[in-house]
Amino acid sequence: FRLVADDTQLGGALGKYAVGTLKAKNVAVIDDRTAYGQGVAEEFAKAVEAAGGKVVAKEFTTDKATDFNSILTTIKGKKPDVVFFGGMDAVAGPMLKQMKSLGIKAKFMGGDGICTTGLPELAGGTIVDDQVFCAEAGGVEGESKAGMDEFRTKFKAKYNVDVQVYAPYVYDAVKIMVGAMEKANSSDPAKYLPVLAATTDYKGVTGPITFDEKGDIKNGALTLKTVRDGKLETMAVIR
């Protein structure tokens, strides 16, 4: 069972955002050939095409690479509005540097692998405002904000550290599991898992929780971020 959006939702929401909000007509997709990078890039490409955009280039590298001039030169010739990278920040940083040196002015997008406070430094200060867009799984909005704020305050008071991104989801996960065990009157997975699977609209600190038939959260939220003034900034919660 999963309480945050999976890579299908992550890539899909970003693809829809690229075409619908950033108005991208042509996109280039690069992945690092890892299960994560390739998976999220494929979902992004599918969502772009479903939204009416066009994937003009599909290239790949590795999660250890530092030189991208060959694939970026190929991509430059296709004149994309957006370059999407499925991979991690350690590769995305140098890639952004080389995009700048090649004069590629496209927006740069990626999943939670590049959505880090360290990305601007890894890119050598070459990122301009609103050039990079990324998303990480999870996010609260509307009525759920009050519950999350209260959780953050209590967490800080108890442990004297700020909440890290997934702590509230672990908290909700434990509460849901305990609730299912109590309802089933058993800690035997064979008995409590069917109860857990039937969880509907559970009011967690991260928002309402309902599982689909695979155990993924329905309508999982993502937090969209961008880089401004060399810092990662939260923009909105998207689904």
pLDDT the model gives residue 140: 80
**pLDDT tens, position by position, 128-152:** 999 999 998 888 877 778 888 899 9
**Helical residues (DSSP H) of 132-216, grouped into ranges:** 144-159, 167-184, 189-197
Distance of alpha carbon 186 from alpha carbon 47, whole angstroms: 42
Contact 52, 25 (CB under 8 A): no
Contact 233, 225 (CB under 8 A): yes
pLDDT (mean) for 59-80: 96
In 3D space, the residue among 6, 75, 77, 232 whose CA is nearest the CA of residue 85 turns out to be: 75
Contact 20, 54 (CB under 8 A): no
**pLDDT tens, position by position, 9-61:** 899 999 999 999 999 999 999 999 999 999 999 999 999 999 999 999 999 99
Strand partners, 195: none
Torsion angle, alpha carbons of 60, 83, 109, 42, to 10: -50
- Could you tell me the end-to-end alpha-carbon distance of the chain, in angstroms, rounded to an integer? 19
Question: What pTM value is reported for the model?
Answer: 0.83
Contact 10, 40 (CB under 8 A): yes
- Tell me the percentage of the chain whose pLDDT exceeds 90: 82
**pLDDT tens, position by position, 179-192:** 999 999 999 999 99
DSSP string of 181-227, one letter each residue: HHHHT---HHHHHHHHHT--SEEETTEEE-B-TTSBBTT--EEEEEE
DSSP string of 43-101, one letter each residue: HHHHHHHHTT-EEEEEEE--TT----HHHHHHHHHT--SEEEEES-HHHHHHHHHHHHH
Distance of alpha carbon 83 from alpha carbon 90, whole angstroms: 17
Q: Which residues contact 120 (CB under 8 A, 6 or more apart)?
A: 127, 227, 230, 231, 232
